[in-house]
């Protein structure tokens, strides 16, 4: 009798595995938008991600007080790595020593359902220091960036494309802000 029960449980388990949905993985468009040059001199230091964004699930704000995640659509890597790679592509960093060191916190990065339709939203706080300044010194500038753009069809693919554009806009705004800082 016990063997029949275990066989039945095993068959149910295998049937459940056979019907698991196929996962879709996304990354940001890492091609630079060609709007920044190496003269911006921004090097990224620390980049932290809010707890709601720390997994690989793509976030959806369904209301001002409720969040959900896409069921079968995920980021291919952590958002800290994806955002760093995209910003470095935009700033053309590599072997260039930067004038400015930017540290940031990614507070929001996903889809927001609104009366105007689905929007891609990015909210981040960045602090700027010179290379000579320590982490505990008061930054030269601390700014919150909030960028929204229409997310087209409101599916994961269109949201990710729109989020890539949001990061490009963030890079433009960061470069413009560093041009207002006193020269090191």
Q: What distance in Å separates the CA atoms of residue 52 and residue 58, rounded to the nearest whole number?
A: 10
| Tens-place pLDDT, residues 87-122 | 998 887 655 667 899 999 999 999 999 888 999 999
Whole-structure pTM value: 0.85
pLDDT band at 174 (very low <50, low <70, confident <90, very high): very high
Share of the chain above pLDDT 70, in %: 83
Give pLDDT, residue 167: 96
Q: What distance in Å separates the CA atoms of residue 157 and residue 49, rounded to the nearest whole number?
A: 22
Give pLDDT, residue 78: 96
Q: What distance in Å separates the CA atoms of residue 119 and residue 62, rounded to the nearest whole number?
A: 11
Tokens of 101: 């060191």
């Amino acid at each position: 009798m016990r063997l029949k029960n275990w066989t039945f449980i095993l068959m149910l388990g295998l049937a459940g595995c056979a019907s698991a949905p196929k996962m879709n993985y996304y990354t940001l468009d890492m091609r630079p938008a060609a709007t920044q040059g190496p003269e911006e001199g921004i090097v990224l230091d620390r980049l932290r991600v809010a707890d709601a964004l720390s997994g690989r699930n793509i976030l959806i704000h369904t209301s001002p007080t409720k969040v959900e995640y896409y069921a079968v659509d995920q980021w291919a890597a952590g958002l800290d790595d994806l955002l760093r790679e995209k910003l470095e592509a935009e700033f053309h960093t590599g072997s260039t020593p930067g004038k400015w060191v930017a540290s940031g916190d990614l507070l929001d990065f996903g889809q927001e359902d609104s009366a105007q339709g689905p929007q891609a939203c990015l909210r981040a706080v960045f602090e700027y220091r010179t290379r000579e300044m320590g982490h505990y010194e008061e930054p030269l500038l601390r700014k919150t960036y909030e960028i929204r753009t229409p997310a087209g069809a409101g599916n994961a693919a269109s949201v990710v494309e729109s989020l890539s554009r949001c990061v490009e806009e963030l890079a433009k705004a960061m470069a413009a802000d560093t041009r207002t800082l006193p020269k090191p």
